[in-house]
């Protein structure tokens, strides 16, 4: 992690035991590519995926909440070992509450990364509300942290690294690679 974490953010991020991610605009750049037969394609950043795997190894759970339904999202979640996936979700707070009960996680132990209006109610609820650099202004106003990277281009990795650093696990991880 190269960027200094403000103390207020560090204290809250150190408590996180669950990272909840939106998909379109967060895990992807928000574009939906369809072929001539209507099959949907999405591009995911490989470094974002590695960050998710590092978080899971560190004992931080990861969940995905998205308003759309897409087999591509389930496939990516399976590849990354993400157990909690909810698609076609309009009420993200209700979906989060269901997952939080299953895991035994509180609001303050949760970081949510969003980018659009549908995400605001959950951003207002969690302990660490984060939006990507290219999020809508209304969402940015309720976020504790705005990533330097845009959605689908390293924003998720930035958040994963921040959580690992705040939780005191960054040096241990770096030791494996140095």
On the 0-12 / 13-18 / 19+ scale of CB atoms within 10 A, 67 is middle
Output the pLDDT for position 178. Answer: 73
pLDDT in tens, 19-55: 999 999 999 999 989 999 988 899 999 999 999 999 9
Q: Which domains does the chain have, with CATH numbers?
A: 7-177 (3.40.50.1000)
**Tens-place pLDDT, residues 95-109:** 999 999 999 999 999
CA-nearest of 104, 105, 138, 103 to 124 is 138
| CA 39/CA 31 separation, integer angstroms | 14
* Closest residue by Cα to residue 142 from 113, 120, 112, 117: 120
pLDDT, residue 1, reads 53
Q: What pLDDT was estimated at residue 175? A: 82
Which token pair is 69?
């339904």
CB atoms near residue 68 (< 10 Å)? 14
């Amino acid at each position: 992690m190269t960027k200094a974490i403000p103390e207020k953010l560090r204290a809250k991020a150190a408590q996180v035991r669950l990272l909840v991610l939106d998909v379109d605009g967060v895990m992807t750049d928000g574009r939906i590519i369809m072929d001539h037969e209507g099959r949907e394609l999405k591009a995911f950043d490989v470094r974002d995926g590695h960050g998710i795997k590092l978080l899971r190894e560190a004992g931080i759970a990861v969940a995905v909440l998205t308003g759309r339904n897409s087999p591509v999202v389930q496939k990516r979640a399976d590849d990354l070992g993400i157990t909690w996936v909810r698609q076609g979700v309009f009420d993200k707070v209700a979906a989060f509450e269901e997952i939080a009960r299953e895991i035994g996680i509180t609001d303050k132990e949760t970081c949510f990364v969003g980018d659009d209006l549908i995400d605001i109610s959950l951003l207002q609820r969690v302990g660490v509300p984060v939006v990507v650099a290219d999020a809508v202004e209304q969402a940015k106003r309720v976020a504790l942290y705005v990533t330097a990277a845009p959605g689908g281009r390293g924003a998720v990795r930035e958040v994963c690294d921040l959580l690992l650093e705040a939780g005191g696990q960054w040096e241990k991880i770096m030791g494996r690679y140095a």
